[in-house]
Amino acid sequence: MDKSDFLKSPSIVAIIRGVKPEEAVDVAQTMYDAGIRIIEVPLNSPDPFRSIKNIVDSLGDKMLIGAGTVTTKDEVSKLKDVGGEIVVSPNMNPEVISYTKSLGMLSYPGVMTVTESFQAIEAGADGLKVFPADVVGMGFIKATKVVLPKGTPMLAVGGVSEANIDEWIKAGADGFGLGSSIYKPEMSLEEISDRCKKVMDLV
């Protein structure tokens, strides 16, 4: 299976910030059953690499699993060691991008300017995480796509929810990173499932 297909437009990256290792698999399975195929565990979650390993061991053959809030090469190495396949960053660090690619992983750095977008692509990024999307604005994606290499994926992350996904799609977003709108640590599995299904219906 070519998991990069999961990133074809429009794609959803589920950001499960705050998940604990002992509940990570149940949350991931619930999301998978609802149609989600990409999961990101932010590194400011409790024991994130153990959560990632648990999800990889259980669902790694049918989901694209990685880490978010990745800012150093050491974190990229640790993610590789536990079987993660996608590196999502809040910033654009050429060294982190090129190192990620040297390990055969997918790189989605955070950008909020045209200059950063081009620098990320030149460093080898597979796609761009427009972050924080609600600050940058929908017009940024539409305008930037005119000058970026054709086919460059742009994910809108930050302030995106089921209430405005349709608008972001019209603005040209190829995918979305969704966090609190589909997952919070206090949510029941039933609520997580319902929210994920609603989002998947929209895209």
Report helix, strand or coil for 78: helix
Pick the CATH number of 3-202 from 3.40.50.300, 3.20.20.70, 3.40.50.2300, 3.30.70.1400: 3.20.20.70
- Report the distance separating Cα 138 and Cα 123, nearest Å: 25
Q: What is the pLDDT of residues 162-198, one digit of tens each?
A: 889 999 999 999 999 999 999 999 999 999 999 999 9
> Which of these is catalytic: 53, 75, 85, 129?
129
> Which of these is catalytic: 40, 75, 85, 162?
40
Decide if 162 is catalytic: no
What tokens does 110 get? 């955070």
Q: What is the pLDDT of residue 1?
A: 61
Rounded to whole angstroms, what are the CA distances from 187 to 14, 38, 49, 67, 181? 14, 19, 22, 21, 11
pTM of the full structure? 0.96
Mean of the pLDDT values across residues 61-71? 97
Task: Report domain extents, the chain.
Answer: 3-202
Decide if 129 is catalytic: yes
pLDDT, mean over the chain: 96
- Report the distance separating Cα 88 and Cα 126, nearest Å: 11
